[in-house]
Structure 1
Amino acid sequence: KSQINHNKHYSTPEEEEQRKLNFLNSLQIVEKHNELYKKGEKSYELGINLFSDLSADEYRAMFRMPDPTVRKPESAPAFIANLTVAAPQSFDWRQQGKVTPIKNQGGCGSCWSFSVVGAIESLYAIKHNQNLDLSEEQMVDCMNSKCGGEWIYDGYKYVIANGLETESVYPYTAGSGKYNACKEQKSSPHTHISSYQSLGKGISEAHALATDAEIMAAVQIQPVSMMFNAAGSDFSGYKSGVLTHNDMGWTGSHAVIIVGWGT
């Protein structure tokens, strides 16, 4: 049933058998966890999804952010949060129509591009009251790391220098894990940004993270790009509820945007 629901096709009987074993292992994890969820001992529910037939190693391999011990990002200008006003109990840019629809990066390590583009799309919607679909593929094709992962900071630097085309002009095709040669821009890009700022001290300074208050102050201005560790089975099978992720290690880091908070 899951194979049909998620349009899965396997190349050999041997692969299909291995996928079945992976799926059954995932199902066991989901059922064991959800028994605790039903008892109120867990705050979030797991489910079966398109990742359920992957091994743990295959799932972790999908997340390809750079290793900060090998190449650290440059320091970014710091965001100075106004902490004199208390944040509301809940806040959600989606309720205001300022977040574009969820997209699927596929088999390319391009989460950083989706994070940068998603934040810029939301900022455009906030400022111009109009939703815009910008190109993730442009940065994938035209930056050095391609599908191998990149720092969010470098993505913002690229947009400052080059701007972004719309999705219709430069569509996303890297979902299979294969990127293209950078296309020469025949006209002025649709959208530019002039600067970006970092919350906290940034990962270039001993992984000093922003406080919740600083993050909430920033998110009330616009959705914010962020990275977190998404490599565990708790996130690969996430279905609903509040997942508190205490593992801040860098293995398998993933880039998304924060659009609000609340329960």
Structure 2
Amino acid sequence: MKVFIRLLLMSLFVTSIFNASNSVAAGEANSSNTGNIRDGAYFDIGLGYRYKSDPFLFDDEPNGSGLALFANGRYQKYGLFIELPRGTSKQQSTIISFGYNFLNTENWSYDLQVAMNHPQLEHQLPISKDVSTRISHSKLGLRVLGDFNNTHLKLIAAAASGGDGLYASAWLSQNYQFYNWNFYTSAGIEYRNEDVVNFFYSINEVEGLPLYKGKSGYEYTGQVGFDYPISEDWVFEGFMRGTLLPRGISDSPLVDGNSIIEAGILVKYVL
């Protein structure tokens, strides 16, 4: 996996240099355009019905069905951005992120991003009944976005919680238009090294649970969804998502199973 990460970073670096040269050439040809093409703002907020089932025995987001609030927003100025990715697509486990969009080409965008790459977890110790919280820290990473008409690609390589924690992911999504209906499919693979897995899921003997040390692994996610504009500002949306956890996580005493299922239907207001 280390070889894969190095090749990924090398490929991103070479692509960045190549695209940077093209970007400079384009900038010289059109020197009057000095703004960042991704500068701007977007925000939507929705209320709907959500179903969630996950194997985490001690979780701050309980399973079950019920009303749920969805919010998704982004603001960028002079390349500096802040994001609130709490909508229907969870391609990164962060409450909020910020960073700098340092390069854009015709099809690619490059960001330095500070974000959490794993949700915060907490569990109650069986003997003392104390609550142990595994806090997810925001870390710096490189994010590359590819946009090819209705096909979208996202690559992330970043530090993560847990010593020398390392996180990498690749996401591919495709949009399909049918009259006013927009349908999409997306698939992703995430890698977390041993330091990350043990930071969140390892168990020490003193905690009153079986001793456990995990290994690095891959997490796979697939999602389908749709949206339909009710009016200029209101959108009807639905989705279904499934995630398969790696053994390094699913074998932990804190987890009972290896899959996460989530679905929802909502109406959102777009500002």
Q: If the length of structure 1 is used for normalisation, what is the TM-score?
A: 0.23
- Greater percentage in strand: 2
Q: If the length of structure 2 is used for normalisation, what is the TM-score?
A: 0.23
Choose between structure 1 and 2 for higher RCO, CA contacts under 8 A separated by at least 6 residues: 1
